Structure formats: C-alpha cells, structure tokens
Amino acid sequence: MCQGASHTVTRKTMLLMLKPEALDRISAGFYRFCASPGCRVVYFSENSGENFTTDDLRARVGVKEMSDPIPLCYCFGFSEADLREELLTKGQSTIPQRITTLVKQGMCACEERNPSGTCCLGEVTKTVMRLKLVESK
C-alpha cells in the first residue's frame, strides 16, 4: 500500500506472529513484510491483495512503533530504551556485540521470534547510529 521497502517472509513466521483470529485469512502464495515505519501494514500478499496490520499481530513490531516499548531484538529482549539507557550511562552500547556473540553461539531464533523473519542486528545497529546522532545534537 505504501510502496515502501519490503521483503519476503515465510509462512512459518506469519503463523507464529499472527493472532489466532487472523490465521484463517492467510491465502496461498507468498507474503512480504513491509518495513516502512509510517505504514501499519505488516504482511501483504501481492497475489491476493490480503494484508495484515499491526493489530493482527501478537507482538509489537519495532519498526512500526513510535513510543516505548519499541522492541528491537526479539530473541534476547533488547528494546530501543535499552540502547538509549546504555548510551546515556556509558556513552556507547555493547548490545550489538552481545547479540553478535549470542548469534554465533547459535542462540537466536529470528525466523520464529522477529515479525520481519530476519536477524535484528541490522536494525539494532541502525538504531544505535540514529540515537547517537540525536544525542550529539
């Protein structure tokens, strides 16, 4: 709907993320995850036109949220507030390195826990950089 950035998402991710009452609306074909912050659509089908919004999900979608809690890492529970707190108290964040270490140990379940179906590390790193810019102003 918004014509923004999107990527394919597995049916498994959708089944785990959608509220039970939304499951019967899933149609055959491929779905995409909408990564546009200003758009409330989370999953959409180019074939059927069916879409699912933030109201249809069991969890908050970090890239779609503007107020806390804003989840960033669904496997290890880190939020934007955690990043802000570390930057405020320590001047830097160790969260990206901690996530990297845990991922290397095989401790992540991104496809199952993250609504985007992808690793959170890129979004976490991008958020750290954005918060540092805000802090430096």
Question: What pLDDT tens digit does each residue of the chain (137 aa) get?
Answer: 688 889 999 999 999 999 999 999 999 889 999 999 999 999 999 888 899 999 999 999 999 999 999 999 999 999 999 999 999 999 999 999 999 999 999 999 998 999 999 999 999 999 999 999 887 76
Q: What's the predicted TM-score (pTM) here? A: 0.91
Distance between terminal CA atoms of the chain? Answer: 34
44 forms beta bridges with 32, 51
The CA distance from 68 to 103, in Å, is: 25
Longest dimension (CA), the chain: 49
CATH 1.10.10 given to domain 6-56:
no
Reduce the DSSP state of residue 86 to 3 states and report it. Answer: helix
> What residue segments make up the domains of the chain, in order of their start?
6-56, 68-136
